[in-house]
Structure 1
Amino acid sequence: MVLSYKHLDEMKPWSDKLHLLECLSVTPETADVMTFLFRSEEPNWFRYMPGQFVTLELPVGNEVLLRTYTLSSSPSRPFALSVTVKAQANSIGTRWMFDNLKPGMKLRALGPFGDFSYVKHPGDKYLFISAGSGITPMMSMVRDMSDRAPQSDIAFLNCSRSPSDIVFRHELEYLARFMPKLSLGFIVENCGRTDLWSGLKGMVDKAKIALLAPDFMDRTVFCCGPEPFMTAVRSLLEASGFDMSRYHQESFAPAAPPPLAEIIAGADGEVLATVTFTLAGKEAFCQPGQTILTTARAAGVRIGAACESGICGTCRVLKLSGQVDMAHNGGILDEEIEEGYILACCSRPLGDVKVEV
């Protein structure tokens, strides 16, 4: 590959509406974690906030599989971006990436999206708590701070199954040499006979948090990991009297169901609206409380969706006419809304609606 050198001000930001991502490299991090590095197929640079995520379109079998991954790279280095992913036992999309995604291959991506970032929730000092691959948004933020503000005060606590499962351990220890206020704490559940480990063992609790960050009550907390892990962290902070307005967690929880009153209002069969899918050439009735995504599925119209909670932005479609009630969770930008885009998973028609699908 011939590298074409351009200064940043000679390039345009990457747009998920126009350009594909090309895989540059694949790096094993642990036995079941890999980092995939991408560039734009065109000479573009990447504009995003540290901690945001993208949705990748993966060609698994005969279908396009949509999977959402947090960016582990830093926007302070804008010429490439990376996702660091963990293959679970029942993984489909991630396993496809492990087995098939090689340098030179191209994928479509949607995003970036999300507001799980110190940019959106700034603080004087931070406590990052993560488990497993939940370390990725924290790594993005630490990498960004190391370039922009190396004097940032960060207590970084990561929980893993074993010492060999700690993702980014060596890089974090390297960054700590140049970030004097970055303190690291690793907790492992188990140690094998051959593991050289003198750190903390067991599960996260208040005592271990206080050991790393005695002043944790005064910090802004970011937490990411499996849902049970985040629930446990949230509960122990609440029990400690922590100001939960300074607690932020990354979550892809399912969207809340419509209010019961809306469901009852539609129980008699009254039709609220007609949704027209112009590209598919179909019209469908939408009952009170139903979303455009639900209506599309009932009509056999495919709209890509991943989180289905208004976070990831995968189901973004162009609304041509009509009004909707859209209660999203950060998966769409204000300028996109002004252009007429909506998120199908959390938009409920307020009358007849036409969408470009």
Structure 2
Amino acid sequence: MSAHTTDASTLPQNSSSPRSASPEPAAARLAGALPAWNPELDDTLVVRAVREETPDVKTFVLAPEKPCLFQFTPGQFLTLDLDIDGESVNRCYTIASAPTRPHTLAITVKRVPGGPVSNFLHEHVRVGSILRAVGPMGDFSCFTQGTSSPLPRYLFLSGGSGITPLMSMARTFHDLAEPRDIVFVHAARSPVDIVFRGELELMARNQPQSFRFAPVCEADSPREPWYGLRGRLTPGLLNHIAPDYLQREIFVCGPAPFMAAVREMLKGAGYDMARHHEESFDFGELARAEPEVAADVVSAEALAAVQGAVAPSATTYTIEFARQKRSIECRSDMFVLDAARRAGVRLPSSCSRGLCGTCKSKLISGTVDMKHGGGIRQREIDAGMALLCCSRPTSDLVVDR
């Protein structure tokens, strides 16, 4: 697969362009009051370090080109805007680093077989590469959700690469040295797949009275037998790890099946689900290709939902997807993405709330009523871009998809 990225070493050394990736002296980055990073003004980030966490997981440490600080809430995510094989692709990754170390920001990415973005990042992005991004966004955080108790007890449950938002929260409490009672449970395939294992074990040693780390593995690694907790998370295992889990505020992130299993397990145990919080959309799924939906297998009910009788207050418009050479009908009270899905048109999407930017598309012609949640820049809107998940048509549309 050919890919396109920008390497700092290819830029002119005498360039005065703000895109020059030559690092500022460390003293300049630390001295004085620095402004907050604003992707509306400059959305480029330089890769300062690439770290291998496990055989298929890497961390990419990012910094602004000019000295400034990242401001975010632990648990939020960043949306990368990548050019892969000449096509613009948006993908969300939760921030793994802590806002207590604001000069850099880190995302941790698991390589997914066949995943175009994760493989691009693993194979082509290196120190000095320049990425475009927008954010931070999202509301999954123990700093903004949960009990009003001044000293709550937390149970963090993560699976696979879903560890990243919980790691950001744990790192923040560790840096602040705040007395938070945290039990951090991480489910992995084998010992070699435990992301951030060494750092989490160090946190537990540094905070023996307030932080417990409990990795759970399904199997041994080829060169490392596993003598710790084994299997999948069950009520019995959870009760062994945290006997008081019914009294804890619980935050969950991982693959969709993992989160669904945890949800059902907690409900069955009589847990107060008002104190259960999970990432509202699955970041792991963003790295997988969305399955093709053939128009000839779409149910009659789905087509009727799109093309059925129009309410008196609604108007029906024609939406043409130029690249796919498909046209559908969409009511003025329906989001374009919903109408496309029901008609069997394949479009990239994830959050469906105007946050992540995955469904960002160019409108060749036509207008929409868009109510987004921050997943698109104003200059992109001015250039005719729209988030299809939160856009209702106000005319016939031609979309560059």
TM-score range, shorter chain: 0.7 to 0.9
Q: How far apart, CA to CA, are the structure 1 residues paired with 2:107 and 2:211?
A: 23
Shift of 1:18: 2.1
Deviation digits for residues 109-140 of structure 1 (CA, Å, limit 9, x no counterpart): 02111111112214411100011111111100
Distance 2:331 2:137 in 1: 29
Instruction: Give the TM-score normalised by the residue count of structure 2.
Output: 0.72
Which of 219, 225, 230 is equivalent to 1:201?
230
Q: Any conservation in 2 of the 1:46–1:80 contact (CA below 8 Å)?
A: yes
**How many Å separate the matches in 1 of 2:155 and 2:177?**
16
Q: Is the 8 A contact 2:332 2:393 kept in 1?
A: no
Question: Is residue 190–residue 226 contact of structure 2 (8 Å, CA) maintained in 1?
Answer: no
User: Which of the numbers 227, 242, 266 marks the counterpart of 1:213?
Assistant: 242
Would you say the 8 A contact 1:66–1:305 is kept in 2?
Answer: no
Secondary structure at the aligned position of 2:236 is classed as helix
Equivalent residue in structure 2 for 1:237, among 258, 261, 266: 266
Matched with 2:190 is 162
The answer (yes or no) to whether the contact 1:158–1:185 under 8 Å persists in 2 is: yes
Secondary structure of the residue that 1:248 maps to in structure 2?
strand
Residue 363 (structure 2) pairs with residue 344 (structure 1): no
Q: Match of 1:185?
A: 214
Q: Is this contact kept in 2: 1:263–1:288, CA < 8 A?
A: no
Which residue is 1:10 aligned to?
A: 33
Asked if the contact 1:272–1:351 (Cα under 8 Å) also holds between the matched residues in 2, the reply is no
CA distance in 2, matches of 1:187, 1:176: 16
Question: Which structure 2 residues correspond to residues 19-38 of structure 1 after superposition, within 5 A?
Answer: 19=42, 20-38=44-62
Cα contact 1:66–1:306 (8 A) shared by 2: no
The 8 Å contact of residues 128 and 138 in structure 1, kept in 2 or not, is answered as yes
Classify 1:314/1:191 alpha carbon distance in 2 versus 1 (closer, same or farther; 3 Å).
closer
In the alignment, does 2:254 pair up with 1:225? Answer: yes
Of 102, 122, 144, which aligns to 2:172?
144
Match of 1:301 in 2: none
Shift of 1:346: 3.5
Please, which runs of 5 or more residues in structure 1 have no aligned partner? 276-283, 298-303
Task: Indicate conservation of the 8 Å contact 1:68/1:312, yes or no.
Answer: yes
Q: SS at the partner of 1:93?
A: helix
> Is contact 2:95–2:165 with CA below 8 Å preserved after alignment?
yes
How far did 1:158 drift? 0.5
What is the distance in 2 between the residues matched to 1:9 and 1:33? 35
Specify the SS of the correspondent of 1:10.
coil
The size of the alignment, in residue pairs, is 331
Q: Is the 8 A contact 1:305 1:345 kept in 2?
A: no
Q: Report what 1:279 is aligned to.
A: none
% of aligned pairs identical?
36
Secondary structure of the residue aligned to 2:166 is: helix
- Cα separation, 1, equivalents of 2:340 and 2:175: 45
Deviation at 1:42, TM superposition (A): 1.8
Query: Which of 187, 195, 201 is matched with 1:173 structurally?
Result: 201
- Residues 291-331 of structure 1 show CA distances to partners (whole Å, capped at 9, x for unaligned) of 2567999xxxxxx96425114245679xxxx99474x7xx4
- CA spacing shift, 1:48–1:286, aligned 2, 3 Å: same
Structure 1, residues 57-112: CA drift from partner, whole Å, max 9, x if none?
22211112221111100011111000001001121111111111011111110211
Instruction: Report if the CA contact (8 A) 2:217-2:229 is conserved.
Output: yes
Contact 1:68 1:306 in 2 (8 A): no
Superposition pairs of residues 199-348 of structure 1, within 5 angstroms = 199-252=228-281, 264-266=308-310, 271-272=315-316, 287-292=331-336, 306-310=349-353, 311-313=355-357, 324=369, 326=371, 331-332=373-374, 344-348=387-391
Matches within 5 A, 1:36-55: 36-55=60-79
1:300 maps to which residue?
none
Question: Do the aligned partners of residues 99 and 261 (structure 1) sit closer, same or farther apart at CA in structure 2, a change above 3 Å counting?
Answer: closer
**Alpha-carbon distance in structure 1 between the residues aligned to 2:177 and 2:26:** 30
* Alpha carbons of structure 1 residues 198 and 345: separation in structure 2 relative to 1, 3 Å: same
Q: Which amino acid aligns with 2:97?
A: S
Query: Counterparts of 1:130 and 1:102 in 2: how far apart (Å)?
Result: 28
2:324 corresponds in structure 1 to none
2:143 alignment partner AA? V
Contact 1:308–1:345 (CA under 8 A) maintained in structure 2 = no
Cα drift, residue 236 of structure 1: 0.5
Q: 1:244 to 1:97 in 2, by over 3 A?
A: same
Counterpart amino acid of residue 232 in structure 1? A
Matching residue within 81, 84, 88 for 2:105: 81
Q: Distance in 1 between matches of 2:172 and 2:396?
A: 42
Displacement after TM superposition at 1:178 (Å): 2.2
Letter aligned with residue 131 of structure 1: G
Query: Cα distance 1:353–1:308, how it changes in 2: closer, same or farther (>3 A)?
Result: farther
Letter matched to residue 128 of structure 1: F
Helix, strand or coil for the counterpart of 1:103? coil
- Structure 1 CA distance for aligned equivalents of residues 53 and 83 of structure 2: 24
